[in-house]
Amino acid sequence: MLVSASSVTKDFPGPSGLVRALDGVSLALAAGEFAAVQGPSGCGKTTLLLTLGSLLRPSSGAILVDGLDPYHLAAEERARYRAGKVGFVFQQFHLVPYLSVLDNVLAPSLALPHADAPEHAQALLRRFGLADRAAHLPGALSTGERQRTALARALLNHPKLLLADEPTGNLDRDNAEVVLGHLAEFAREGGAVLLVTHDPQAAARANRVLRMEHGRLDLNPEARSPKSATPG
């Protein structure tokens, strides 16, 4: 398995004691798999993504991505690992407002420099229909263009895992379909995708839908053949 989480818990301090956000979560994702997680707000979905992405240390349990436990690494090594193995796509884009589209896409190469970064960044911009926006600042882009820029940034370092937290939440249906198509394409090419979404149409693009309630993940998910996706 490309991703394996075993009995993961995450506790946060609260006014009356610890609050358990993840309660013994176990999950396995294979290369080429596109899985979606649905559940009510506050059920632990985003906490799960951040924990799998090595941004939030679990209170207990074990996480392996491509055979490595990121939480056994020192902070600097973990940052390099994350830059190379994991791509993130968020609802709010998190683009740097004073950097051009091209420089936003190139940002992950600061943590993990590689010789093909400029060429790959240009290729991603062409692939996502952003070549003529390379010199623009994010404020000059449409919401769909901003999310495609964020997706190009997530793919710059050839990650094996994409973690997407409500990536279509700010998009109209046409732009949402474009983004979902690219996520599905990434999975078809051998990566793994974990999508957190409230949108049933977005979840329908996955080949496995998991339900989360009160920090617990349903281990009997709905499985389906993924819909064909044409990135657009």
Instruction: Report the alpha-carbon distance of residue 164 to residue 74 in Å, rounded.
Output: 25
- Is the pLDDT score of 76 beyond 70? yes
Instruction: Report the alpha-carbon distance of residue 131 to residue 134 in Å, rounded.
Output: 6
Give the CA dihedral 116, 127, 207, 147, nearest 10 degrees: 90
Tell me, what's the pLDDT at 207? 93
Predicted model pTM:
0.91
Q: Which residues of 193-206 are buried (b: 16+ CB within 10 A; e: fewer)?
A: bbbbbebeebbebb
CB 112 within 8 A of CB 84: yes
CATH of the domain spanning 3-12+19-223: 3.40.50.300
Instruction: Report the alpha-carbon distance of residue 43 to residue 70 in Å, rounded.
Output: 24
Q: What is the mean pLDDT of residues 102-130?
A: 95
Tell me, what's the pLDDT at 230? 39
Tell me, what's the pLDDT at 114? 87
Instruction: Report the alpha-carbon distance of residue 126 to residue 134 in Å, rounded.
Output: 10
- Is the pLDDT score of 223 beyond 90? no
- Which pLDDT tens digit goes with each residue over 1-53? 999 999 999 999 989 899 999 999 999 999 999 999 999 999 999 999 999 99
Tell me, what's the pLDDT at 222? 56
Instruction: Report the alpha-carbon distance of residue 155 to residue 200 in Å, rounded.
Output: 25
Q: Residue 169 in 3-state DSSP? A: coil
State the residue for tokens 């679990």. 58
- Is the pLDDT score of 229 beyond 60? no
Tell me, what's the pLDDT at 224? 57
Q: Name the residue ranges covered by the structural domains of the chain.
A: 3-12+19-223
CA angle centred on 99, ends 81 and 46, rounded to 5°:
45
Listed residue (221, 223, 130, 132) closest to 179, CA to CA: 130
Return the percentage of the chain with pLDDT > 90, whole number: 91
CB 212 within 8 A of CB 37: yes
Instruction: Indicate the burial class of 44 (C-beta count within 10 angstroms; 0-12, 13-18, 19 or more).
Output: buried
In the numeric block, which tokens belong to residue 130?
């952003």
